[in-house]
Amino acid sequence: MKNPLLSEIASPTFDRPRQRMVNDQLKARGIRDEHVLAAMSSVPRHLFVDAALAARSYQDCALPIGCGQTISQPYMVARMTELLELKGQERVLEIGTGCGYQTAVLSRLCRRVYSIERIEALQQRARKNLRAARLANVMLKCGDGMEGWEDYAPFDAIIVTAGGFASELWLQQLKPGGVLLLPEGSNGSHRLVRRRKQAHVIAEEYFDACTFVPLLRGVNHH
């Protein structure tokens, strides 16, 4: 094989831990959407963390990805993806690319993912990881996600993977009927909230309590 990454993707070493993750952490806790389960079964999570952490990549926890940030726990990635109720044709905006793992899962379930990361070093790593995982329907940029991504708006869904309070621009950049999903709250105490943009009102539903790294303003070029 010319490209060593191809053999890495096909590596059976991680097939079993990944299947166990899907059964024990996702199905057992109520993730039901078959498409989400299939995406979580196929995306090679171990390619999105440092080689030194690969052996732990299917464990039931968040892991460090550098720059003080984390790759979210598998359950949380699956839960948030399920709450978006994707059908396959959507254009999705993600705020907080991190290592690109959630981006990869989304890219299996919708038409295109637009993802913004404020830390340049992470954005570059995510680009490399997504290429290694052979995922192409993804556009990345380094920027402040609080501003959304006007050039490609409106979106069918917006998912925020850092905790805080919503920017007003996000709802503006959603299509009618579109959903915004974020971990809302402060000081590491968040709750998933889904807001649907309806004709005259915003419908709001609250879900799991959770803890995310903070949503911050501005761009970090290191």
Give me the active site residues, please.
Answer: 72
Contact criterion met (CB below 8 Å) for 97 and 119:
no
Q: Determine the Cα–Cα distance for residues 84 and 180; give it in Å rounded to an integer.
A: 8
The reply to whether 69 sits near ligand SAH by the rule CB under 6 A is yes
Residues 119-138 that bind ligand SAH (CB under 6 A): 119, 122
197, with CB counted inside 10 A (0-12, 13-18, 19+), is buried
Pick from 79, 118, 194, 197: which binds ligand SAH (CB under 6 A)?
Answer: 118
The reply to whether 116 sits near ligand SAH by the rule CB under 6 A is yes
Q: Determine the Cα–Cα distance for residues 108 and 115; give it in Å rounded to an integer.
A: 14
Query: What would the x/- binding string for ligand SAH be over residues 74 to 113, using CB under 6 A?
Result: ---------------------xx-xx-xx-----------
Residues 142-161 that bind ligand SAH (CB under 6 A): 144-146, 161
The total number of residues shown for the chain amounts to 222
Q: Determine the Cα–Cα distance for residues 19 and 38; give it in Å rounded to an integer.
A: 10
How big is the site for ligand SAH, counted in residues (CB under 6 A)?
24
The reply to whether 36 sits near ligand SAH by the rule CB under 6 A is no
- Sorted by sequence, the CB contacts under 8 Å of residue 222 that are 6+ apart come out as 67, 119, 120, 121
The reply to whether 213 sits near ligand SAH by the rule CB under 6 A is yes
Q: Determine the Cα–Cα distance for residues 64 and 163; give it in Å rounded to an integer.
A: 16
The reply to whether 117 sits near ligand SAH by the rule CB under 6 A is yes
Per CB under 6 A, residues contacting ligand SAH are 69-72, 95-96, 98-99, 101-102, 116-119, 122, 144-146, 161-162, 213, 215-217
